[in-house]
Amino acid sequence: MADEKPIAQREEWADVVPLPQDDGPAKICAIAYLPDFEESMNYFRAIVQRDERSERALWLTERVIDGNAANYTAWYYRAKCLEDLGKDPREELKFVEELAFDNAKNYQVWHHRRLMVERLGDAADGAAELQFTTEILDADDDSKNYHAWAHRQWVLKRFKLWEGELEYIEQLLAKDQRNNSAWNQRYFVVSNTSRREDGSFDRAVVEREIEFAFKYIARSPNNQSPWNYLRGFMKPLTAFPSIVERCEEMSKKYILCAHVFSLLVDVYESEGTAESLQKGIDTCGQLIERADIMRCKYWAYRKEQLEKKVAAL
Amino acid sequence: MQRTLFLDCSRVSGLQKEDGSFQGDEWGEVDTRFSYCAVSCLSLLGRLDAIDTAKATEFLVRCRNFDGAFGCVPDAESHAGQTFCCVGALAILNALEHVDAPLLCWWLAERQVKAGGLNGRPEKLPDVCYSWWVLSALRILHRVEWIDKKALSSFILRCQDPDKGGFADRPGDMVDIFHTFFGLAGLRFLGDTSLADVDPAYALPVPTLRRMNIALPWLDEEARLAATST
């Protein structure tokens, strides 16, 4: 990246007077900047002040970003220079790509990438963007990178690259079925491709998705993600008696699995009959005593609500 | 000696977009974090009138997922940090009716893992900073009791470096100011009254906010609930 020679020693910068940081009269918690960082920033302030958008300004933004990849002022200034200098966004995408792997959780890197893709307009390569996020998610155990997923969602919508996404998600779940981001992504894809005019889902879609969730629940009942996922589709809760049966069976075997009992409480409450409400109350008891002791106060609240409903019948 | 602070509110209101969302700056990044920042700072200046609060609310509601929690933009994964931003902003906007409190607070309570700490999303590791993001949202919605307070307290204290004094994201890691603030605020919310009270929506000391006459209806409601339960 940026080489070692101080800017003050470079002939091409001789005409610029560096502008030091104005911390005001009372320096509280003054940061111990390293000399080359401070120098880069002093020259950057000078360039920004005169709004110079030249090749050397562009070079300087890279140096500043190298010192602090989260400097959004430098990123924005860089974007302005790139535009004024007529630089090819595709070249910039390569620059960003190199930085991204070392700074995968940095907001600015991702936003800058998006800006470059937007600048390419119709010439943008959506598939390449998707591939980029795939590589980020694959790197270093980073399959839950929130920025990568947000970028991926944006790419999918913008370029309508829905095909193949469900398969990709399944691959990720095969590697780690506890990847909540992948579960969220599935909901995102199904939501965007399989809703009816009125926003609802076909019964066939609902059943397919519930079965999908149960496939993973069967493998690992304590995995919270598929249980959460179920809730996106089990509407209303009372419309799925076979699911309730399965959960009741599971509750006999997985007596410490809070998720099983939790779903049952919600179903029983929705059913609202005297018998169901009583089952709900008993299930809350099991959660309080055994299955979810940590959240016993929550279950005590739910139990109380159910008791009120019984009294009101 | 009084100094008058003048802020050109159009700097902030100018960052609100058609759909009610907020950019962070002229660069254009949109995120519910920026909705929170805009709403918070304008509210402190008594200038919420400078933005379209109805549209701001509308955008936040679009970021609400089926589990009741919130993401950074519509459809984004529910995340405790983003959830704090949305709940805090909705509280300041007086629009908490858009939060399904029991549903969301259940999701928030589920952030607590066996070790006692809180995570930010299902199946992720606990981190002290979530003691703020999760707990402040729970406090605004009056349901801090839904988590195991003792277990969380122990977790936070285990994150303190006995030599340096500060707090880290998890036990044994390097300390920093960020996690120290969140750890301390979390301990306060869990009942350590040796610490000054921090407002869960503004993340500022309560006495300061009261002195500025900033309305804190969630704290007033908290006091009312405490009074009626005794």
What digits encode the pLDDT tens for the residues B188-223?
A: 999 999 999 999 999 999 999 999 999 999 999 999
Task: State residue A1's pLDDT score.
Answer: 45
How is A199-258 classified by DSSP, letter by letter? SPBPHHHHHHHHHHHHHHHHH-TT-HHHHHHHHTT--SGGG-HHHHHHHHHHHHH-TT-H
Question: ∠ CA(B34), CA(B38), CA(B43), 5° rounding?
Answer: 150
Residue with tokens 């200034």: A77
Supply A188's token pair. 């995102």
Interface contact flag, B122 A79, Cβ < 8 Å: no
Q: Does A301 touch chain B (CB under 8 A)?
A: yes
Closest by CA to B206, choosing from B179, B2, B93, B218, is: B218
Backbone angle region of A130, left / alpha / beta, with phi > 0 → left and psi within -120 to 50 → alpha: alpha
Structure tokens at B197: 């009270």
Catalytic residue list of A: 105
- A180·B124 Cβ contact <8 A: yes
Given a cut of 60, is residue B142 above it in pLDDT?
yes
Res. B7: pLDDT tops 80: no
Q: Is the ipTM of this complex over 0.85?
A: yes
Determine contact, residues B33/B83, Cβ cutoff 8 Å. no
CA distance A38 to chain B (A): 22
Choose, out of A72, A175, A184, the residue to mutate when testing the contact with B (most B CBs < 10 Å).
Answer: A184
A295/B75 Cβ within 8 A: no
- Are A224 and B110 in contact by the 8 Å Cβ rule? The answer is yes
B148 touches chain A (CB under 8 A): yes
pLDDT at residue B90 tops 50: yes
Window 119-178 of A, Cβ < 8 Å to B: 144, 146, 149-150, 153, 178
Cβ–Cβ < 8 Å for A183, A233:
no
pLDDT classification of B74: cutoffs 50, 70, 90: very high
In this prediction, residue B5 has a pLDDT band, given cuts at 50, 70 and 90, of low
pLDDT in tens, B60-70: 999 999 999 99
Residues of A whose CB is below 8 A from B105: 298
Q: Which residues of B are catalytic?
A: 79, 121, 124, 127, 129-130, 169, 176, 179
Please name which of B80, B57, B91, B44 lies closest in space to residue B219, comparing C-alpha atoms: B91
Residue A79 forms contact with B (CB below 8 Å)? yes
Whether the CB of B145 is below 8 Å from some CB of chain A: the reply is: yes
Instruction: Give the pair of three-digit tokens for residue A195.
Output: 């809703």
- Answer whether A44 touches B (CB < 8 Å): no
What does the block give as tokens for A84? 């004024």
Stretch 191-220 of chain B: residues touching chain A, C-beta under 8 Å: none
pLDDT at residue number A142: 87
A75 touches chain B (CB under 8 A): yes
Task: Say whether B67 and A188 touch across the interface (CB within 8 A).
Answer: no
B160 bridge partner residues? B167
Identify from A206, A234, A294, A296 which residue to disrupt to test chain B contact, counting B C-beta atoms within 10 A and taking the largest count: A294
Task: Please say whether the beta carbons of A84 and A53 come within 8 A.
Answer: yes
Residue A293: closest C-alpha in chain B: B148
Nearest Cα residue to A8 out of A46, A53, A65: A46
Geometric angle at alpha carbon A101, from A98 and A107, rounded to 5°: 100
Asked whether the beta carbons of residue B112 and residue A294 sit closer than 8 angstroms, the reply is: yes
**Nearest in space to B169 (alpha carbons), one of B203, B118, B217, B215:** B118
φ/ψ of A293, rounded to 5, equals -60, -35
A195 touches chain B (CB under 8 A): no
Tokens of B207: 């006495």
B25 in reach of chain A (CB within 8 A): yes
Asked whether the whole model's pTM tops 0.90, one would answer: yes
Cα dist from B85 to A199, B68, B82, B92, B151, whole Å = 27, 14, 5, 11, 25
CB-based contact, A51 to chain B, within 8 Å: no
Q: Which two tokens stand for residue B210?
A: 């009261």
Largest separation between any pair of C-alpha atoms in chain A:
88
For B216, the 3-state DSSP assignment is coil
Selecting from B25, B65, B122 the residue whose C-beta is nearest the C-beta of A224 gives B122
- SS3 call for A172: helix
Is residue A4 exposed (0-12), middle (13-18) or buried (19+ Cβ within 10 Å)? exposed
Q: Do A107 and B28 touch (CB under 8 A)?
A: no
Alpha-helix residue ranges (DSSP H) falling in chain A = 35-49, 55-67, 72-84, 89-102, 107-120, 126-138, 146-159, 165-175, 180-193, 203-219, 224-231, 241-253, 258-271, 274-286, 296-312
Q: Do A232 and B66 touch (CB under 8 A)?
A: yes
The pLDDT value recorded for residue B6 is 62
In this predicted structure, the answer to whether residue B2 has a pLDDT above a threshold of 90 is no
Q: Is the peptide bond before A6 cis (omega within 30 degrees of 0)?
A: no
Taking 3-state DSSP, the helix, strand and coil percentages for chain B, each rounded to the nearest 5, stand at: 50, 5, 45
Asked if A107 lies within 8 A of B29 by C-beta distance, the reply is: yes
Cβ contacts from A onto B, under 8 A: 81
Confidence (pLDDT) at B131: 85
Residues in B closer than 8 angstroms to A224, CB to CB, are 110, 122-123
Taking the C-alpha atoms of residue B12 and residue A199, their distance in angstroms, rounded to an integer, is 34
* 313 residues of chain A, pLDDT tens digit each: 456 789 999 999 999 999 999 888 888 888 899 999 999 999 999 999 999 999 999 999 999 999 999 999 999 999 999 999 999 999 999 999 989 999 999 999 999 999 999 999 999 999 999 999 999 999 977 899 999 999 999 999 999 999 999 999 999 999 999 999 999 999 999 999 999 999 899 999 999 999 999 999 999 999 999 999 999 999 999 999 999 999 999 999 999 999 999 999 999 999 999 999 999 999 999 999 999 999 999 999 999 999 999 999 9
Task: Output DSSP code: residue B218.
Answer: H
| Phi/psi at A16 (5° precision) | -100, 130
pLDDT of the residue at A25:
87
Query: What's the whole-number average pLDDT of chain B?
Result: 94
